Structure 1
């Protein structure tokens, strides 16, 4: 059996292993090295124009988790039992417009682009925002577009976790305004630059899941 076949089987096995874990074994903790690996797959994830509109907040403080629980109906057991709990924040529209300090810094200091490339890429990006996807017409739409970028990182982290036998659960079941209020009060989130996109818990399952159910390939794949 060649290496590529083995890798494919490993990945499919991990995808079948992964499920939305509602309750974790609170006595089992993810090692620092394993969790750094999971976070690194998020950090290295792709984003539109490579502008990385995310921040990963790892909430290990139990008091803060308890403050979040009243406003996170979909994360009750996960907040209480997960080894690691991550809030994924997304940049606000003011940071994502083409002429913002954040975008300028990304192109000049992170991507290290020459001045002429910065100008060309900035022009292309501005056109994309205004006329391509027409995102800049509506701040809510633009924020949701930034949030969509964070889901690329979310998916990669969950897949990476599954590949090394770690469970996860993504969550949108929370009251955004109240969660953000807690984060602001605790000095965790700067409301001038970020809003919350989603949550994800990691750990080891307490119970074995039921049978995985999905539509067949014929139902979801179309060749033309």
Structure 2
């Protein structure tokens, strides 16, 4: 098996290994170096127009985790047992508007585009929001579109974790409004700029999962020749 085949085999093995871990072995902790690697994969992930509408809140404070359990019904076991627990935030619609200070900073400072190129990209983005996807007139749709970008980072982080033998579980089971109110109260989230997109727990599985089930390839792939 050549190096390319080894790489493909390792990637598929990681996807087979990965499962939504409902409960972790609380005695096993992820090293700082390994978790920094997972976070870096998230930071380097792609996003629409490269605008990175995410923020990763790593909750290691067990008192706060205990409070989160009241509003995160899908994360009760994970909050208690995970080595690391991440709340992924997404930028609010006002930050994602083409003329916002956030987008201007992304174009000019982060992406370091020449003034004329930045102006052109902003115009294309503005058209995308208003016409192509018709997002800007619907704040909920605009927020959910930004959240979809965070799921790219989420997926990459879970895959990267699996490739180094770390388990994970993506979580949407929570009362969004109540959870956000708690995070604001605790000084964890700025609700002028962010909302909660999803959560994800990382650690080592407490028990082996059942055999992975998926639809067959011919049920999910259609070729147009």
Q: TM-score when scaled to structure 1? A: 1.00
Partner of 1:153 in structure 2?
153
Tell me what 1:204 maps to. 204
Please give the alpha-carbon distance, in whole angstroms, between the structure 1 residues aligned to 2:114 and 2:218. Answer: 47
CA distance in 1, matches of 2:122, 2:5: 42
Structure 2: any 5+ residue segments left out of the alignment? none
Deviations 1:155-190 (A, max 9, x none): 000000000000000000000011001100011100
Which residue of the partner structure matches residue 144 of structure 1? 144
Residue 22 of structure 2 corresponds to 22
Aligned to 2:64, what secondary structure does the other structure show? helix
TM-score by length of 2: 0.99
* Partner residue, 1:115: 115
Give the aligned partner of residue 220 of structure 1. Answer: 220
For 2:119 and 2:21, locate their aligned partners in 1 and report how far apart those are by CA, in whole Å: 46
**1:15 CA drift (Å):** 0.3
Determine the structure 2 residue equivalent to 1:194: 194
1:90-101 to structure 2, matched below 5 A, reads 90-101=90-101
Q: CA–CA distance in 2 between the matches of 1:50 and 1:14? A: 27
Runs of 4+ in 1 over 6 A off after TM superposition: none
Look up the match of 2:7.
Answer: 7
State the secondary structure of the residue aligned to 2:56: strand
1:83, distance to aligned residue in structure 2 (A): 0.1
Q: How many residues align?
A: 224
What is the match of residue 170 of structure 1?
170
For the residue of structure 2 that corresponds to 1:169, the secondary structure is: strand
Instruction: Note the C-alpha offset of 1:63.
Output: 0.5
Given the alignment of the two structures, is residue 62 of structure 1 paired with residue 67 of structure 2, yes or no?
Answer: no
- Once the two structures are superposed, residues 56-104 of structure 1 have per-residue CA deviations (whole angstroms, 9 ceiling, x without a partner) of 0000000100110011110010000000000000000000000000000
Q: Cα distance, 1:137 vs. partner?
A: 1.3
Residues in 2 aligned to 1:125 and 1:72: alpha-carbon distance in whole angstroms: 35
Correspondence for 2:74: 74
Which secondary structure state, in structure 2, belongs to the residue aligned with residue 134 of structure 1? coil
Write the distance in 2 (CA, Å) between the matches of 1:43 and 1:135: 25
The separation in 2 between residues aligned to 1:142 and 1:166, in whole angstroms, is 33
